[in-house]
Structure 1
Amino acid sequence: MPARITKEDYLFDFDMLGLAPALNDALERANFTQPTPIQNQAIPLALEGHDILGLAQTGTGKTLAFGLPLIDHLLAQPNKPAPKTAKALILAPTRELVNQIAESLRTLTKMTKLRVATVVGGQSINKQIMFLSRGTDILVATPGRLIDLMERGAVDLGSVRHLVLDEADQMLDLGFIHALRKIAPQLGTPRQTMLFSATMPKQMEELSRAYLTNPQRVQVSPPGKAADKITQSVHFVEKPGKPAKLREFLSRETDALTLVFSRTKHGAEKLMKGLVADGYNAASIHGNKSQGQRDRAIKAFRAGEITVLVATDVAARGIDIPGVAYVINYDLPDVPDNYVHRIGRTARAGREGEAIAFCAPDEFDLLRQIQKLMKIEIPVASGAAPEAAEAAKPGGRQRNRRRGPKPQGTNGPANRRRHPRRKSAA
């Protein structure tokens, strides 16, 4: 089992860490002065070279928690990467998250000679092969595309001495554990490995034992807990009433950035087109959109050019837009953990945010699973839970309280035996 860090606060500023001057300058340019709790705990240990098992909900600054010590280590190695090689590998489950991580790292390496490369599906593999042919310091990748490049001989991972697994729980959910088993044996040794996750399923413990060596465990909140500054509420509404309820919310603050989650790709697209037809400034991202379309939609949303982004769980992780004021769960997710990741798109970087859920009668069990995971009761803002509504009907409570055997009748025990049908006289 990994050693557990119990000290909650190391009370330092970034400039007290002894980071490379280029990193301190980059942090100052980006107005980063005070580390978040996960950064507070993870960075000193990672700088010392420890393997890290980091547990924190989304929006807590995990990218800098592994990015800063990683870059600091690489800046101490001035030699250029050989062709087709990388010094550090960061694996993430989605294209959006890969792009977000790379963007953050490029902000920190802008005034250095370190190169950051990304490889994801949905983009030209030939261009990626050409870029990798020159070698890179940091490679950020989705596991599937990385394996494609490995099989083509386009990348050699033998020089990798730093491995980061970000949002590792989602990689497990998506079946990337098989890809990881192909990738890990190709990496160089000895190496430093950092694994970050928002939840801690049993399989994550097994993953940490397999790929981390005497890791230091840092945890800033219980797994499955949302950020403290998110105000949550649920509205019980029949499915046909959801479109009107959504428009009611969107009309309150037309300029507020609002992220709306739909369960299916078809549903997200249909919802977005309906909003656009009604005059709302909306776009959508889901698995049927090309990478270019998804990137353009996120860029426009970040810039405020569109104010409503309708998405499937492809956006539950990987969208780091501090200005998101509202997250609306138009459909509740099938996987409770995804609710935590969805609402983590708001209240980022210390801001406040609001998460609103619509719950139709057939989603009530999903809501109960979410509340069980988070160990809270989400406040009800309107409507009534199906079981409460049933109990409120005339005679409802009396029917529920009845005890004892059922009366003998058509459904009683004496009549449960099936009898052959009599042939008609006709």
Structure 2
Amino acid sequence: MTFENLPPLLDEALTARGYTALTPVQSAVMTAEAEGRDLVVSAQTGSGKTVAFGLAMAPQILDGGLVSLAREPAALIIAPTRELALQVSRELMWLYAKAGVRIATCVGGMDASKERRTLNQGAQIVVGTPGRLRDHLERGALDLSALKVAILDEADEMLDMGFREELEEILNATPEGRRTLLFSATMPKPIVSLAKRYQQDALRISTVGEDRGHGDISYQVVTVAPPDIENAVVNLLRLHEAETAILFCATRENVRRLHASLTERGFNVVALSGEHSQSERNQALQALRDRRARVCVATDVAARGIDLPNLSLVVHVELPRDAEGLQHRSGRTGRAGRKGTAVLIVPYQRRKRVESMLRGAKIEADWIKVPTAADIRAKDHERLLETLLTPVEVEDEDRALGAKLLETMSAEDIAAALVRVHRAKMPQAEDMLDDGTRERPRDDHRAGFDDSVWFKLNVGRRNNADPKWILPLLCRRGGVTKNDIGAIRIAANETHVGIAAAAVAKFAKAIAQPGHDEDNDVEIVQANGPPREAARENKRMGRDGGRDGGRDGGRPQRAQLGVNPRGDGPRGDGPPRGGPRGGSNRDGVRPFRNDGPPPSKHGVRHKAKGNRPR
């Protein structure tokens, strides 16, 4: 197909890439009105902006359809993150490959000396991040004296990340006659101010809502009890079984935690956050492209610049900061005309905030219940039947093996065995405590633990006792699973644990054996009933001003999934006053939170000095 107003070499590149028509933003920058002018372009994430400014700057790069022989760069593209800069470089490489254009990429985390050698050899296009570009500029390795066009990609994000000073220094080093193109999904006031300072008679182009908008992304919201967030993630992954999915968390720590938890459950998962080196990031993304991994757990560092062709599911495990963050995260899917799904996991107390965010982003979302284990089994049945009923070519060797199996097994038994093998490959769905549509009843308790038997450990808060390591220790020493363990109540000097009656005999026999080297100093013995004495001891220490005193000295911690959020059950139940509501999940890991400061090692959210209620 031939595209109008394009140099023949770029026309050939687009055709070879499979383009049959330009997207709205690509067409808009190629109009006669836009030719040679400064541009302020507002376009939705995933709408083809990179190719758009690649086409828009063609007159400044190509001289009569051929590449200029000048050694100094004619075009400079500035991007906020390494991933986006590398993605832009890859797109421009195939677009300008036939024209022989040399492209230099300058980003933090890469070999700076190698980048300087590349710049010294000459490059027509330079793509980089603000910090590294300024470094090369100050060292004299980057010469912008002959620059013809400067492009700021995701300009709003660069300003949000504090790159205003770097951007101004770079733009001030360019000739006054150069073109300046600003591309962004949103256009807040700081961008307008930047445009007025560095552009002349700029043409404003906006294609947000045209043809695409949010049309290729289906938004869903599931409300859950806070301890159920991680289980909701598991069930959403299992329900959709997406070729590639990204899970967004707010912090590096939560990325590490969720990555470890999903790996343990059997998912093929990689992690991506600011603590990873560029080499580690590249390996993670390549694993997703090669299908060696299907799930990526990431912070917002991955919200821009990642283009995975098969990415069809985005899950906001922790809520984005604002509507713009929601759009950029979700925009990793539903790209280039493909369909995608974005799911927000919302603790029920944050529902109003999410409703406001969706209104601000003009997004229509479906509020649905979190998938249950039954929903996932039904979906698995559909997928399995679809897979098995798809016609395939069968070799003679396979038919011979099938005939041999039929001699010893019935067709029904063979089919059942095939189903079992298929199911064994998939992680198990999780049983949800609550779908988040209402708060738990006050008198609710975990089923199956009415007649639990209490055991006592000789470690407490003074020994930094924490459910995160107590629960695995109990499973390891007692030969039980997490489902056999009820409440974990941590006092000052000891910890009480409720064991389901059905598992008591097995547990008691196992703990009679010596512990492992790493935990042989932890003694576990059967207690004389519920831990009332431990609660009294803790309360006494609070009055006496001991180490664990203060407002929460009188209540031991509780790690049971589904603890009453108000903490007004029987004595000793519920979290300590001032601690996080909702307790911990079954693995003893505190649930993801979308608000407030992180808990201390004892699970208490400390108030800042001077903020005590009078």
Shared fold by TM > 0.5?
yes
Report what 1:7 is aligned to.
none
Q: Counterparts of 1:72 and 1:308 in 2: how far apart (Å)?
A: 41
Q: Counterparts of 1:61 and 1:344 in 2: how far apart (Å)?
A: 12
Report what 1:378 is aligned to.
365
Is 1:92 aligned to residue 98 of structure 2?
A: no
- Paired residue type of 1:204: I
Q: Helix, strand or coil for the counterpart of 2:29?
A: helix
Contact 2:3 / 2:11 at 8 angstroms: preserved in 1? no
What is the CA deviation profile of residues 321-376 of structure 1, one whole-angstrom value per residue up to 9, with x for unaligned ones? 23111110011112331110011111100111111110124544541442232134
Q: TM-score, normalised by structure 1?
A: 0.83
- Paired residue type of 2:247: V
Note closer, same or farther for the CA distance 1:365–1:118 as it changes in structure 2 (3 Å cut): farther
1:182 aligned residue (169, 191, 198)? 169
Report what 2:311 is aligned to.
324
2:69 aligned residue (59, 76, 80)? 80
Q: Counterparts of 1:106 and 1:375 in 2: how far apart (Å)?
A: 35
Note closer, same or farther for the CA distance 1:205–1:88 as it changes in structure 2 (3 Å cut): same
Q: How many angstroms does 1:216 deviate by?
A: 1.2
Is 1:305 aligned to residue 292 of structure 2?
A: yes
Q: How many angstroms does 1:17 deviate by?
A: 2.1
Note closer, same or farther for the CA distance 1:18–1:271 as it changes in structure 2 (3 Å cut): same
What is the CA deviation profile of residues 269-320 of structure 1, one whole-angstrom value per residue up to 9, with x for unaligned ones? 2111211111101001110000111111112212322110111111111011
Q: Counterparts of 1:381 and 1:350 in 2: how far apart (Å)?
A: 25
Report what 1:161 is aligned to.
148
- Paired residue type of 1:205: V
Q: Helix, strand or coil for the counterpart of 1:251?
A: helix
Is 1:338 aligned to residue 325 of structure 2?
A: yes
1:71 aligned residue (51, 58, 72)? 58
Q: How many angstroms does 1:64 deviate by?
A: 1.1
- Paired residue type of 2:44: Q
Following superposition of structure 1 onto structure 2, how do residues 26-425 of structure 1 map, counting pairs within 5 Å?
26-45=13-32, 48-76=35-63, 78-82=67-71, 85-221=72-208, 227-254=214-241, 256-361=243-348, 363-364=350-351, 366-382=353-369, 389=438
Q: For structure 2, which runs of at least 5 residues remain unmatched after alignment?
A: 371-433, 443-614
Detail structure 1 runs of 4+ shifted over 4 Å in the superposition: 383-386
Q: How many angstroms does 1:58 deviate by?
A: 0.2
Q: Counterparts of 1:341 and 1:17 in 2: how far apart (Å)?
A: 31
What is the CA deviation profile of residues 131-185 of structure 1, one whole-angstrom value per residue up to 9, with x for unaligned ones? 1111210000100111111111111111111011111110111011111111111
Contact 2:312 / 2:339 at 8 angstroms: preserved in 1? yes
Q: How many angstroms does 1:377 deviate by?
A: 5.0
**Structure with greater Cα Rg:** 2
Q: How many angstroms does 1:87 deviate by?
A: 1.0
- Paired residue type of 1:227: H
- After alignment, is 344-353 or 369-378 more displaced? 369-378
Report what 1:3 is aligned to.
none
Q: TM-score, normalised by structure 2?
A: 0.58
Note closer, same or farther for the CA distance 1:46–1:99 as it changes in structure 2 (3 Å cut): farther
- Paired residue type of 2:288: F
Q: How many angstroms does 1:218 deviate by?
A: 1.2
Q: Counterparts of 2:213 and 2:435 in 1: how far apart (Å)?
A: 22
Contact 1:282 / 1:306 at 8 angstroms: preserved in 2? yes
Q: Helix, strand or coil for the counterpart of 2:280?
A: helix
Contact 1:26 / 1:108 at 8 angstroms: preserved in 2? yes
Q: Counterparts of 2:438 and 2:350 in 1: how far apart (Å)?
A: 15
Contact 1:334 / 1:366 at 8 angstroms: preserved in 2? no
Contact 2:221 / 2:365 at 8 angstroms: preserved in 1? yes
Q: Counterparts of 1:325 and 1:233 in 2: how far apart (Å)?
A: 13
Contact 1:53 / 1:195 at 8 angstroms: preserved in 2? yes
Q: Helix, strand or coil for the counterpart of 2:306?
A: coil
- Paired residue type of 1:291: Q
What do you get for the CA RMSD once the two structures are aligned? Answer: 2.4
Q: Counterparts of 1:37 and 1:336 in 2: how far apart (Å)?
A: 23
- After alignment, is 96-105 or 149-158 more displaced? 149-158
Q: Counterparts of 1:385 and 1:174 in 2: how far apart (Å)?
A: 36
Report what 1:11 is aligned to.
none
Count of paired positions: 376
Contact 1:332 / 1:366 at 8 angstroms: preserved in 2? no
